[in-house]
Structure 1
């Protein structure tokens, strides 16, 4: 656990689904967790105490007591940065992603995109709106792009050759984007997924994946209102690098 970010990207990648549920619960119930016993946390998340201890170990702690101490220090250091929107989550994301591995992947994907004829964003709901924004940004930078939000849009054979498909989905398990991506993969398109977690169906289908590992928020257990600031950052960073490469040609 660093002074700047609660968990590193590498630590998050090492966690399984249950351990990520623990992480999300902790980020949603910060103050309560500080006063919980390990059994109480296990009961709240519906996991075993062994799973809690495994999570603590992957977070760099020798036990739950040590984790709570380090977590309290983390909260104290970020207290002045907090607001109702919890800006500390954003800062945590930027600290985690500001690594050479992220920019190396941006470079690799951007170089491939430059050779593509067009970029096609796919997504529904909020992800579809972000796809429209992404297409506009790439168009502004000189790369022809558009967004498909309707999962029933017919795709003519051969119409998407030499294209880059960028799929947006928080969970990576929404059936409509998965179906659309399956159609595009038959066209031998380059594929990129931007999802919250790496271990999801959509990410596994694609050539490249960008993940942001943010706690998921839902309204009425139906509407996913997980922040999309990381998605905008990833899209803009990728688009700017594509523009720079185009200008070098």
Structure 2
């Protein structure tokens, strides 16, 4: 609505009116045109020119568009994390889930190198996972540069791919390149039915309620941290106490 081009077209009075609207936008949507003109100390004709520059047929349409803009910018309710995590931690006591963690630790033990990939918050956790695994005597690397060509034989390596949605195109593309080079893929996703979960050799899914703030995915990553640390610790215990 208030694009750079539109704001640049305002004359001095219209720019003054713009600042007034921005400072009192919550009240302007309920004002009459005369109230706005008096409040901003401009004429009603100035208000009408202002509305036309905003591609509105009149003051009523301007108020409707402004209300929609305010609704878009309103802060969505964000749930507290405790109830989201309760079910996940209950599942960590499930034998089937712990067997998956133990199986993943075996894969880590058998690999001569563990690679981590992920994008966004998953990339941040992939880097953390790489460091955590290295701290517990597992040779691991976070692959940060997506465009580095992979020519090496990765036959004895394991790639741990992180993705909340399991549908990130960059991560899927990277997985294909790593699989072509011979790496096994262990994915950690929120949903076992996602593309990344399906194309991986093995998958661990944590199933928590997915949340978004506007267009940003803010789904809790605590389950991912738990899974990564648990796998690393299990692999370490297997290494120092072989059966």
The CA distance in 1 between the partners of 2:107 and 2:139, in whole Å, is: 14
Within the alignment, does 1:92 sit opposite 2:87 as a pair?
A: yes
Write out per-residue CA displacement over residues 107-161 of structure 1, whole angstroms, 9 at most, x where no aligned residue: 2221121111111000011100000110011000001111113321221231x23
Task: Give runs of ≥4 in structure 1 deviating > 3 Å.
Answer: none
Map residues 1-249 of structure 1 onto 2, 5 A cutoff: 85-158=80-153, 160-220=154-214, 222-249=215-242
Q: TM-score, normalised by structure 1?
A: 0.64
Preserved CA contact (<8 Å) 2:115 2:157:
yes
Structure 2: segments with no counterpart, 5+ residues:
1-77
Q: Offset of 1:105 from its aligned partner?
A: 1.4
Could you tell me whether the CA contact under 8 Å between 2:81 and 2:220 is conserved in 1? no
Alpha-carbon contact 2:150-2:181 (below 8 Å) kept: no
Structure 1: how far apart are the matches of 2:107 and 2:176?
A: 20
Secondary structure at the residue paired with 2:101? helix
* 1:69-121 per-position Cα deviation (integer Å, ceiling 9, x unaligned): xxxxxxxxxxxxxx962312112210123211111111222112111111100
| Paired residues, number | 165
Alpha-carbon RMSD: 1.5
The answer to whether the 8 A contact 2:91-2:97 is kept is no
**TM, length-normalised to structure 2:** 0.65
Kept in 1: contact 2:192–2:203 (CA 8 A): yes
